[in-house]
Amino acid sequence: MIYKFYLELKNNYAPANQYAVPAMEIRSASLHSACQEAEKRIGAKLTHYEPLEEGNRYRVYFTRKKLFKKTDELVYYVECE
């Protein structure tokens, strides 16, 4: 299966054209292993993920530590094909 990750929110700000092109595409057997691969690519830690009502679509939450004990909160919309 191919999981397409679209950046939905970064620190409560939505990027322009967020659903135009996926931020990354990961080929994996399960959502959990795809999220682990995404952790490595973006350098963030998986907080949790939740299924959406539309079937093979998920919302995935990551946090990334920054300097001076600040964190980035990243929310990705994930489609499974």
For the chain (81 residues), the mean pLDDT of every run of 10, in chain order, is 91 78 92 93 92 89 86 90 87
User: From residue 36, how far is each of 12, 29, 47, 60, 69 by CA, in Å?
Assistant: 23, 12, 11, 11, 23
55-67 pLDDT, tens digit per residue, is 889 999 999 888 8
Reported pTM = 0.85
Residue 17's pLDDT is 75
- Listed residue (52, 47, 41, 37) closest to 72, CA to CA: 47
If one counts every other C-beta atom within 10 angstroms of the C-beta of residue 3, the result is 25
| CA 4, chain centre distance (Å) | 9
